[in-house]
Amino acid sequence: MTRHHNFCAGPAALPTPVLERAREEMLDYRGHGLSVMEMSHRSPTFEAIAARAERDLRDLLAIPDDYSVLFMQGGASLQFACVPLNLLGPGGTPNYLDTGIWSTKAIKEAEHLAGAHLAASSRDAGYARVPGREAVQLSADAAYLHYCHNETIGGLAYDYVPEVEVPLVCDMSSSILSGPLDVSRYGVIYAGAQKNIGPAGITVVIVRNDLLDRALATAPTLLTYKAFADHGSMLNTPPTYAWYLAGLVFDWLKNDIGGLDAMAAINRRKAATLYDAIDASDFYANPIAPANRSRMNVPFTLADDALNGVFLDEAEAAGLLNLKGHRSVGGMRASLYNAVTQQAVDALVDFMGDFEKRHG
């Protein structure tokens, strides 16, 4: 069996130890005689799996007791609607920061429901940096401020946390668990799983309990945070196997990696390795302001776009997979999520150097 280096933006690489453990438990989960994907979500066995996953996530992120942890479905895209549905009950206008494609999608969804105020945008800067702190201007009736911490497609990340008097809402789909996080600064954090949490199919939502009663009266029950909190995220049949695998990832981060400080150090080294190689070259380029470069998603271009296809073909032949940039921006993109090893990044940098020598 050969495992190649997977730089996919999502669904993304999973830690090899997690996959190996899932393989061991696939047919017979710890002597129970069936697979996790076959057992009832109401069974004591699965309830223990779910409780352990939540406990480990709370430990990793030091989530305060006055926050609920929800395991929902629909990915971050469904949360674009869930956020206004759950926070606009008392009235007010949704406020948003615009830094790229994913924040734009969230804004459009809010506009469908209640309109939206653009508190700041870096569109005029080509989304090459985030708006400065001083640029953030809330509406007088702001209900909350939403932003995307890390724009997966553009490779743009915030280097600060906005300071506002209204609930702060953050899409952390592509950066959660990549390092320590002060949850107490946020009202709502949400993240699609298929980057650093686990496989596609489950979404983690962390919501401060005092916000659970702010949903619109017309909000569908299955889209309300309070209903999920009241039912332990089992309002309907959850994606049980994805939940189980997420729990294995949390365990790996705690016990194999040593927590999020250790994970952050690993991620800093990986990102520095790739960015240093790009910056030292006249053949490769990254368009993002250094202060806002993402550690999770590194887009880069070649000096000659005509070589893009050759680069991708040769990279795949070398076991370096999923390096094609998003269709909206082109070029290349290497996603360096937690499960991507330093060895994988070193192999990519070696390949890039060799390719430049042969084609530069």
Listed residue (125, 156, 162, 161) closest to 142, CA to CA: 162
On the question of pLDDT at 1 being above 80, the answer is: no
- The top-level CATH class assigned to 16-257 is alpha beta
Q: How confident is the model at residue 262 (pLDDT cuts 50, 70, 90)?
A: very high
Peptide bond into 162 cis (omega under 30): no
CA distance 17 to 1: 15
**Residue 237 corresponds to which tokens in the numbers above?**
């049949």
On the question of pLDDT at 67 being above 80, the answer is: yes
Q: How confident is the model at residue 38 (pLDDT cuts 50, 70, 90)?
A: very high
CA distance 125 to 122: 5
Residue span(s) of the chain under CATH 3.40.640.10 come to 16-257
- Tokens 């057992």 belong to which residue? 39
Q: What is the pLDDT of residue 113?
A: 86
**Residue 128 corresponds to which tokens in the numbers above?**
């090459």
Q: How confident is the model at residue 360 (pLDDT cuts 50, 70, 90)?
A: confident
Q: What is the pLDDT of residue 114?
A: 81
Q: What is the pLDDT of residue 253?
A: 98
Active site residue 102: yes
Q: What is the pLDDT of residue 329?
A: 85
Model pLDDT for residues 70-94, shown as the tens digit of each residue = 999 999 999 999 999 999 999 999 9
The more confidently predicted of residues 99 and 1 is: 99
Share the mean pLDDT of the chain: 96
Model pLDDT for residues 289-303, shown as the tens digit of each residue = 999 999 999 999 999
Which of 56, 59, 141, 171 is catalytic? The answer is 171
Q: What is the pLDDT of residue 2?
A: 84
Residue span(s) of the chain under CATH 3.90.1150.10 come to 259-359
Task: Please tell me whether residue 326 adopts helix, strand or coil conformation.
Answer: coil
Bridge partners (DSSP) listed for residue 314: none
Q: What is the pLDDT of residue 183?
A: 98
Model pLDDT for residues 107-159, shown as the tens digit of each residue = 999 998 888 999 999 999 999 999 999 999 999 999 999 999 999 999 999 99
DSSP codes of every residue in 16-81: HHHHHHHHHHSSSSTTSSS-GGGS-TTSHHHHHHHHHHHHHHHHHHT--TTEEEEEESSHHHHHHH
Q: What is the pLDDT of residue 327?
A: 84
On the question of pLDDT at 305 being above 90, the answer is: yes
CA distance 300 to 294: 12
Which of 56, 195, 226, 243 is catalytic? The answer is 195
pTM listed for this prediction:
0.97
Active site residue 171: yes
259-359, what's its fold?
A: Aspartate Aminotransferase, domain 1 (3.90.1150)
Which of 56, 98, 102, 324 is catalytic? The answer is 102
Percentage with pLDDT > 90 across the chain: 97
The mean per-residue pLDDT over the stretch 246-260 comes to 98
CA distance 330 to 305: 9
Active site residue 230: no
**Residue 337 corresponds to which tokens in the numbers above?**
């999520």
Listed residue (222, 175, 223) closest to 195, CA to CA: 175
Q: What is the pLDDT of residue 88?
A: 96
Amino acid at 41: H
Q: What is the pLDDT of residue 115?
A: 87
